[in-house]
Chain A
Amino acid sequence: MNAHPELDSWAVALDEEPLPPAVEAHLRGCASCAAEFVRLRAAAGLLGATTAQEPPARLRTRIMATALAYRPTRERLIEPYARQVTALHGLLSELDVRQLARPEPHYGNVDGVLTHLTRNDNLVASDLGLVQADPAAVRAGAREAWRGQAVSLLRGVELSAPLDRPVRMAGKAGLRRPLRDAIVQRTFETWIHADDIRRAVDRPPAAPPREDVSLIVALGLRLLPVAMRALGCEHPGRSASLRLGGATPLQWRVPLSMDADPGDEVVCVTADAVGFCELMANRRSLDRFVYQMEGDAAAARDLLRAAATLGCD
């Protein structure tokens, strides 16, 4: 074996991720070392079995929820969006003529809100080549136009659209992201505008279920490094942890820059998940956002400042 020092150096360091290039190159060309590498790696992997220890039962729930929020399955993407489309449709069908005319501070009135939402939904619908709401249809009937396009979007995603396909996202940054992210953004925006309408007609806001909120938080956190760069407030080589939720919060690790290495955790922020979504949507100002933090206060402030730019208005 001494004729193959590359493998020896690995056996001494046990390093992974990535394998040193010299080792990698050698393993590709030397079948006996490649076999030996698999054998030694299996042994090194088994060493850890000596300290096996049952984790607390709650860890399973927490990890499954976090994993599925970061990379949702198709059903877990569609159901939350379908829930919001149904909720908004239900709300609209209950409004009378006087309520439809009530002033709404962001978009004038209910139809103004829907026209805006329809335009943002259209970015995804047109990138997927689905049935779209054209401007004339929106002028003729904002409610029907919104709903027709939303249903077509739902069907398109449900049936076949590849979740990794890049499509246009709404928002200032003009990003293209995988469809998976765009659908979560549609869920988010549909919820936020349904709440805009509820407020205009003096109804209480209605937050989505907890798992749906987790999807939205996870999307926001994926976009956060980009937003921090855009604001010029990155903290390179640093990360934060975010504990969001009620009694059993989910914990998220957030890099505070676009660096590949998430680096040293400098602050832990604890807050309500729905409140954090409202902050992202620009429906709650940073001054009214309640949070606790431990660690670097400036990093926490910059994180929240960047989060507040992630809305779709």
Chain B
Amino acid sequence: MLKECPKWSRAIKARLLAGDESALAEVYDAYSSLVFGIAARVLRDTTSAEDIAQDVFVSLWEHPDAYDPDRGPLRAWLSLLTRRRSIDAVRRDVARGRREAAYAQDDLILPGVDDGVVRDTLAKTVRAALAKLPEPQRVAIVLAYYEGLTYLQVARRLQVPEGTAKSRLRSGLRTLAAQLETVDLV
């Protein structure tokens, strides 16, 4: 599925509310790679990523009302929830000293795997849109998205003034939305 159709989002929510298990299976089949991929990237560990994916899908099934189709696609809801829970899990691990917060700088340019092995059309399209952002904006966004840094932390990490970090994040997301709009994804 490329762009999520709002009719589908509403219908799927209604089916989840009615307790239709085939709706959960459908959401899982559409979005498990997305959810698992975000968690695996943030956590750098596929076992913990499976646990986060379970939390996310089970929580959608238990509380379908938490998702509001008026506020955008289910895809966005799932991915932002996955991101939040993954970041929280990393913070707990860091607090326990189990995980070193060591991120390679080159990861920040573009997250994830080689373009050569990205077979997923959607992933390719979004990566292309992300690649069109000015590098400072892209780095700021990737830091905030995958490491859950606040703009203050982004500023510190990149050694730029706070206002600059804030505006890079803000305009980065707007530019990205505009880019994705040109390819009819937003």
Contact = CB atoms under 8 A, between A and B. Distances in A.
Interface of A: 1, 8, 11-17, 37-56, 59-60, 62-64, 66-68, 70-71, 73-74, 163, 241, 251, 253, 264-265
A38 B80 CA distance: 13
Most buried by A among B57, B96, B150: B57
Given A38-B72, A63-B28, A54 B33 contact: yes
B104 interface: no
B126 A50 contact: yes
B120 A49 contact: yes
Interface string B32-75: 11101110110000100111011101100110001000111101
Contacts of A45: 72-73, 75-80
Interface residues of B, number: 71
Interface string B1-43: 0000000000000000001110011001100111011101100
A44 B145 contact: yes
B177 A70 contact: no
Nearest to A1: B174
14 contacts: A11-B170, A16-B77, A44-B76, A44-B145, A53-B33, A55-B50, A59-B32, A59-B36, A60-B25, A60-B32, A63-B28, A67-B57, A70-B61, A253-B51
Contacts of A17: 66, 81, 84
B111 interface: yes
Contacts, number: 184
Nearest to B33: A52
A264 B37 contact: no
A39 B169 CA distance: 15
A12 B163 CA distance: 11
B127 to A, nearest CB: 5
Given A8-B170, A42-B76, A16 B92 contact: no
B58 A52 contact: no
Interface of A is mostly: helix
A294 to B, nearest CB: 13
Given A63-B54, A63-B58, A264-B95, 20 more contacts: A15-B84, A41-B80, A42-B186, A43-B176, A44-B79, A45-B72, A45-B75, A45-B77, A46-B185, A48-B34, A48-B37, A49-B120, A50-B110, A50-B112, A50-B123, A55-B53, A56-B46, A62-B54, A63-B57, A64-B21
A37 B77 CA distance: 13
Given A59-B36, A67-B61, A47 B21 contact: no
B170 A47 contact: no
Contacts of B82: 48
A52 B181 CA distance: 20
Contacts of B83: 14, 48
Contacts of B139: none
A56 B62 contact: no
B112 A43 contact: no
Contacts of B77: 16, 45
Contact of A251 (B51, B61, B84, B166): B51
B3 to A, nearest CB: 9
B144 interface: yes
A40 B58 CA distance: 26
